[in-house]
Amino acid sequence: MNLFYLIFSIVSILNLIFAITLIFLERRDPTATWAWVLILTLLPGIGFIIYLFFGLRFRKRKLYRKKQIADFRFSRDYSTSLNRTLFQIHTPYIRRMVKVGYKSHPSSFVGYNKVDIFTKGVLKFQRLFEDIEKARCHIHINYYIIKNDHLGRKLLEILTQKAYEGVTVRVLYDSMGCRKLPKDFFDPLIKAGGKAVKFAPSFLDINYRNHRKIVVIDGKIGYVGGFNVGKEYLGEKPEFGFWRDTHLRLEGESVDTLQYRFLLDWNFASNEEVDYYQRYFPEKEIIDKVKVQIVTSGPDSREEEIKYLFLKMIYGAQKFIYIQTPYFIPDQTVLEGLKIATMAGVDVRIMVPDKPDHPFVYEANHSYLGLMLESGAKCYRYKGGFLHSKTIVVDGEVASVGTTNMDVRSFKLNFEINAFIYDKKTASELRDIYLADLEICEEITLEKYNQRSVGMKIKESIARLVSPIL
């Protein structure tokens, strides 16, 4: 019994030390700080282990400082294009948004792009495979999740064939998102001359995931959005049903930024130091004139660039803000921005899934939606399957599509990428898609919300308490 008390005392002291470290040494959002203190206090021993792997930031600072320096060195030429492109922007609101986006490296506002929108996985992958099969120079792929199912194996088969044909193939995949992949999954590709590299394979980096989805083909065609690689994204898993997501196919100057971002991440993960040869950045044909800005953020960023652009969109809205996100767990700045917009008469609508894909998410979503309902926003649950789309449309003039969820993890911890589109036609198309989705949604009214059970209220309270670290 004495040994038990000795061990318990040591664990309690360690928890106290980590709590003090958390409060005084870590520069965190206060709500996240108190969430960790609560976990350390209520779960002695277990809380210590959870904090070691998910909360400690010292390793992040050391590991990603080098990446930050390397990224800046290779992307500094982008900053020189700011003055060259801003004169093309006639709307002050958009000009200010673009300037905020330039804090991201690399980021460039470019005016000559063609944008195709995909909301169904079957159509997205059909077009993607067609583009890959036509590749002549290189194929660069970055996905958070690649599954060992018929879709993942088909992608592997096509990439392997292209590698045998002499096309340069590089695949970057997240070690956590692809943790169930067999170790020899990419062996056929590697045998054919292609390359596949894990991003952040160390278990100590489990908290910092590469959530980006990027494909670049011959430096001319790019893909970015929410779809990963697996049969559920085709709507073939009964527990999810139809998978509703949004993905973009880009042609034009914006592909260069996708290429830069891929190569920066590849160099970091592989230690290969791929040079920025001209063949990776060919001259682009002018196909259309859609203005696009690709913006990234992550643990290696000095600021929360994508979140800042979200805030700029919110504060600049005059008519409406339409949001789709699987996780509506915003920080205080975004929450207050949306409340202020609602009180100012802006039509704020938020759409979330009707079913969760992670524990606590449904309750956390519900809790924050309640706050928005009280401020006058309209909130909806998507009933047509699983909603994984991450889009924002403002006033039918500006839109964002990408990998970033409306939560603290995406803002602070994950490596994310979004395309910000400054084009009325494309933004209006995304608005129309949103309105069509509303037809298969259930509206959450304030009256319904107030009728929730005591059990649900307790679950929401717990979810809210730990939401800053979900």
pLDDT tens digits, 333-360: 999 999 999 999 999 999 999 987 777 7
Choosing from 291, 366, 388, 459, which is the catalytic residue? 388
User: What is residue 468's three-state secondary structure?
Assistant: helix
Strand order in 291-297's β-sheet?
109-110, 291-297, 416-422, 398-402, 391-394, 320-324, 347-353, 378-382, 441-444
Residue 408 has φ and ψ, to the nearest 5°, of -65, -35
Choose between 77 and 128: higher pLDDT.
128
Please confirm, yes or no, whether 116 is among the known catalytic residues. Answer: no
Put residue 193 in one of left, alpha, beta given phi > 0 → left and psi -120 to 50 → alpha.
Answer: left
Over residues 277-292, the pLDDT tens digits come to 678 999 988 899 999 9
Choose between 246 and 466: higher pLDDT.
246
Choosing from 67, 138, 213, 291, which is the catalytic residue? 213
Please confirm, yes or no, whether 366 is among the known catalytic residues. Answer: no
- Other beta carbons less than 10 A from residue 468's beta carbon: 22
Please confirm, yes or no, whether 183 is among the known catalytic residues. Answer: no
Beta bridge partners of 225: 247
Choosing from 174, 218, 256, 407, which is the catalytic residue? 218
Choosing from 395, 407, 423, 437, which is the catalytic residue? 395
Choosing from 247, 390, 412, 459, which is the catalytic residue? 390
Q: What is the CATH number of domain 305-469?
A: 3.30.870.10
Choose between 84 and 51: higher pLDDT.
51
pLDDT value at 174 more than 60: yes
Contact present, 250 and 421 (Cβ < 8 Å): no
Beta bridge partners of 447: none
- Strands (E) across 208-278 are located at 214-217, 221-225, 243-244, 247-252
Q: Quick one: pLDDT at residue 123? A: 99
Among residues of the chain, what percentage have pLDDT more than 70? 78
Q: What is the CATH number of domain 115-288?
A: 3.30.870.10
**Could you give the C-alpha distances from 436 to 85, 139, 240, 441, in angstroms and in order?**
35, 34, 20, 9
Choose between 85 and 276: higher pLDDT.
276
Choose between 441 and 40: higher pLDDT.
441
Contact present, 142 and 173 (Cβ < 8 Å): yes
Over residues 71-109, the pLDDT tens digits come to 555 555 444 444 445 546 667 877 888 888 776 666 788
Please confirm, yes or no, whether 211 is among the known catalytic residues. Answer: yes
Q: Quick one: pLDDT at residue 83? A: 45
pLDDT value at 395 more than 60: yes
Q: Is the dihedral of CA 233, 235, 238, 241 positive or negative?
A: positive
Beta bridge partners of 461: none
For the chain, how are helix, strand and coil distributed in percent, rounded to 5? 45, 20, 30
- DSSP letter for each residue of 398-414: EEEEES--EEHIIIIIS
Contact present, 441 and 382 (Cβ < 8 Å): yes
Query: What rounded mean pLDDT belongs to the chain?
Result: 86
Over residues 228-274, the pLDDT tens digits come to 999 999 999 999 999 999 999 999 999 999 999 999 999 989 988 77
Choosing from 67, 147, 162, 211, which is the catalytic residue? 211
Please confirm, yes or no, whether 124 is among the known catalytic residues. Answer: no
Please report, for the chain, the start and end positions of each structural domain, with discontinuous segments joined by +: 2-56, 115-288, 305-469
CA 132-233-143 angle, to 5 degrees, is 55
Look at strands 378-382 and 386-387 and give their pairing: unpaired
Please determine whether the domains at 115-288 and 305-469 fall in the same fold group of CATH. Answer: yes
Q: Quick one: pLDDT at residue 300? A: 80
Please confirm, yes or no, whether 388 is among the known catalytic residues. Answer: yes
CA 341 – CA 248 distance, rounded (Å): 28
Q: pTM (2 decimals)?
A: 0.87
